[in-house]
Amino acid sequence: MSATELLQDRYGAVMMLTYGMPPVALASGTGCTVLDVDGNSYLDLIGGIAVSSLGHAHPAIIEAVSRQVATLAHTSNLFLHQRQVELAERLIGLLGTDGRVFLANSGTEANEAALKLVRKAAGPGRPVIVAAEHSFHGRTMGALSLTGKSSIREPFQPFGVEVRFVPYGDAAALAAAVGMDCAAVFLEPALGEGGVVPAPAGYLKAARTACDEAGALLVLDEIQSGIGRTGEWFAHQREGIVPDVLTLAKGLGGGLPIGACIGLGRYGSVLEKGDHGSTFGGNPVACAAALAVLDTIERDGLLAHVSTVGAQLAAGIEGISHPLVAGVRGSGLWLAIALTGVAATAVAATAQRHGFLVNAVQPNAVRIAPPLILSAAEADDFIAALPAILDAASVVLAGQETS
C-alpha cells in the first residue's frame, strides 16, 4: 500500500466524507510545486482553490507569520491589535474610497456579515435578496441560501432569507427582479464555482444602476476574484463601479484563514456595537499573512505579472486544437478550459498523473487558479503537456463509454 492509500484509509475512517475521498495527500510545497506523501511532485495550478496567492512556503509569509506568532498569536476582539488596523487601512486604501472593515475567518463568514449588514440597512420592509443562478457564496445557512446551485442548497432548505434568483449575466432580468422589496443584490464579478464564467461587459454597471433605482445595496462577492486574481486588485475595478459592500477571503490570507466584509461609504457604519462578532476574526497571525500578501503583490509587481502570464496561458491553451477543448474563459490567472463534453473529471485525473494539479470545477470545465507567482516557464510546461493530458483523458473517456 502506498503512503497515500494508507492515509486515505485513516481519513475514510475518521473524517466526515463531505469532500468524498481526495485523490492526493499533500505533504509539502515550495513556490508553485507541491509534493505528496509518496514523494510525487506536482505543479500546483489550483493553489488551494485560488488561495495560495504567493505559492507555498513564500519567504514573506514565513517571516510575517513566524514573527507574529512569536509575538502575539491571538487577542480575541476584546482587545485590538496593530495588524488588524494596518490591514483594514490597506484594504480601504486599495479601494480608494472611505469605508470600514469587519474581519472574519472565511469567505462564507464574510458573506454572513454582509447579509446581516444589508438586512439591518434595509429594514423589514425589504425582505428580498437577489442573487444569481449558478452563483456560489458559501456553505453556512445564510450564504448557502444565496447560492444558486440547487443541488447543494435545496437539501438544507428552508432558510430564513427570501432569495430571488436571476440568470447570471442577463441585465434585463436583473433589472426586472430588483424592486422596492429588495434589500440587496449579491453578485460575483465572474462565476467562480459556476465554472469561471465572466459577466458580460456592462453587467456590473447595470446591476449598480438597478440597485440605485430601487434603493437596494450592491454586494460584490470578490472572495475568489479579488486580491490580484484577475490582474486587478479587485475584478470590479475594471468595470468602473463602486459596490456598497465587498466581501473578500481566499487569496487575501495566502493560505492563512481570513475573510473581510467591507462596507463602503456610509455602509461602513451600519453594523454597530453588539451587532456582529467573531472570536478569531482578524486574528493577528492571519492579518500578518494578509499584509505580507498585499505587500508582496505590490513590491513584486504581481498584478502586471498575473495579466502577462495569464494571457500567455490562455493563448497557449487556445492554440491547442483538440477535440476535447471548446475554448478558454476568464482573465488573469483565473481560467477555465471549456470542454466539449463531460470530461473534466477525466482531464483533472490525467493531469494529476502527468504532474499537474487542476480542478474539475464543472462537469465540462477545468479550472486553473494557480499562485499569482506562476512563472512563464511553468505556464509553458503546462501548455506543452496539455495535448498528452487531453489524449490520455480521451482514452479514459472512450473506455468508460465501452464499459
Ligand X SMILES: Cc1ncc(COP(=O)(O)O)c(C=O)c1O
Contacting residues for 31 by C-beta, under 8 A, at least 6 apart: 55, 56, 57, 58, 371, 373
Stretch that binds ligand X, among 10-18, 187-195, 352-360, 367-375 (CB under 6 A): 187-195
Q: Does 249 bind ligand X (CB under 6 A)?
A: yes
Q: Return the residue matching grid coordinates 476535447.
A: 324
Binder to ligand X among 119, 126, 137, 236 (CB under 6 A)? 137
Number of residues that bind ligand X (CB under 6 A): 15
C-alpha cell read off for 67:
514573527
Q: Return the residue matching grid coordinates 480521451.
A: 394
Residue nearest to ligand X (CB): 107
Binder to ligand X among 42, 136, 165, 203 (CB under 6 A)? 136
Q: Give whichever of 277 and 399 is closer to ligand X, judged by the CB atom.
A: 277
Q: How far is the CB of 224 from ligand X (least distance, A)?
A: 4
Q: How far is the CB of 59 from ligand X (least distance, A)?
A: 25
- Do residues 165 and 148 touch, judged by C-beta distance below 8 A? yes
Q: Give whichever of 136 and 234 is closer to ligand X, judged by the CB atom.
A: 136
Instruction: Give CA angle at 285 (26, 35), nearest 5°.
Output: 15
Q: How far is the CB of 158 from ligand X (least distance, A)?
A: 21
Q: Give whichever of 49 and 383 is closer to ligand X, judged by the CB atom.
A: 49
C-alpha cell read off for 27:
505533504
Binder to ligand X among 142, 192, 198, 268 (CB under 6 A)? 192
Q: How far is the CB of 66 from ligand X (least distance, A)?
A: 24
Q: How far is the CB of 49 from ligand X (least distance, A)?
A: 6
CA-to-CA separations, 141 to 32, 145, 157, 188, 286, in angstroms, rounded: 34, 6, 9, 18, 24
Contacting residues for 123 by C-beta, under 8 A, at least 6 apart: none
Q: Give whichever of 221 and 239 is closer to ligand X, judged by the CB atom.
A: 221
Q: How far is the CB of 244 from ligand X (least distance, A)?
A: 17
Run of H or E including 286:
helix 284-299
Q: How far is the CB of 165 from ligand X (least distance, A)?
A: 16
Q: Give whichever of 99 and 107 is closer to ligand X, judged by the CB atom.
A: 107
Q: Return the residue matching grid coordinates 434589500.
A: 183
Q: Does 47 bind ligand X (CB under 6 A)?
A: no
Q: Which residues, numbered 48-107, are part of the site for ligand X (CB under 6 A)?
A: 49, 106-107
Phi-psi region of 84 (alpha: psi -120 to 50; beta: other; left: phi over 0): alpha
Stretch that binds ligand X, among 29-37, 135-143, 173-181, 283-291 (CB under 6 A): 135-143
Q: Does 188 bind ligand X (CB under 6 A)?
A: yes
Q: Give whichever of 34 and 223 is closer to ligand X, judged by the CB atom.
A: 223
Q: Which residues, numbered 212-231, are part of the site for ligand X (CB under 6 A)?
A: 221, 223-224
Contacting residues for 260 by C-beta, under 8 A, at least 6 apart: 91, 101, 102, 103, 104, 110, 246, 247, 248, 249, 252
Q: Does 332 bind ligand X (CB under 6 A)?
A: no
Q: Give whichever of 214 and 256 is closer to ligand X, judged by the CB atom.
A: 256
Q: Furthest-apart CA pair in the chain: how many Å?
A: 64
- Do residues 355 and 35 touch, judged by C-beta distance below 8 A? no
CA-to-CA separations, 392 to 16, 36, 352, 368, in angstroms, rounded: 32, 22, 11, 19
Per DSSP, what are the bridge partners of residue 30? 33
Which of 377, 340, 334 has its CA nearest to residue 230?
334
Bridge-based pairing state of the strands 334-339 and 365-368: antiparallel
Stretch that binds ligand X, among 26-34, 85-93, 134-142, 326-334 (CB under 6 A): 134-142
Q: How far is the CB of 245 from ligand X (least distance, A)?
A: 13
Binding residues for ligand X, rule: CB under 6 A, are 49, 106-108, 111, 136-138, 188, 192-193, 221, 223-224, 249
